[in-house]
Amino acid sequence: MTSIDEAIKQMNTTDKCLTYGEVLGPACEIQTQEDADKYLVAVLAYHQRVHGKTEQEARELFLENVGYFSGYYDNETMARVQRLFNTAHPIFGKAMDGIPTPEEAFEMGRRASI
């Protein structure tokens, strides 16, 4: 069983609140569209069951969070996650549009916090 399958199994069988790392970390390991699609189904069902979200609320929550979380990884991983889940970083945007330098990222974060 792969780590993705294990994460899906955990989401399908738990009634407890999982951490961001437990939900978003495995998403950032995904390499194929097939696994991303399978993972998204499990995440949406988890958020609906455990957190009482509608499917649309669950989708918006996950996509924004995984877009943001992927920004903590290297540029290649961030771009892959954004492509597989068709999402973007809420501050930096799409990786394919260019990765900000550390200085640019700091300034973007500063402006977003105002």
Segments in the chain below pLDDT 50? none
Strand partners for 93: 89
CB 74 within 8 Å of CB 82: no
| Residue 25 confidence (pLDDT) | 96
Q: Say what the pLDDT of residue 91 is.
A: 84
- Please answer whether residues 11 and 45 qualify as being in contact, where contact means their C-beta atoms are separated by less than 8 angstroms: yes
Both tokens of 108, joined, read 């973007």
Question: Are 36 and 84 within 8 A, CB to CB?
Answer: yes
State the residue range of the domain holding 75.
Answer: 3-113
**Total count of domains within the chain:** 1
> What is the structure's pLDDT at 108?
83
pLDDT of residue 69: 96
pTM over 0.85: yes
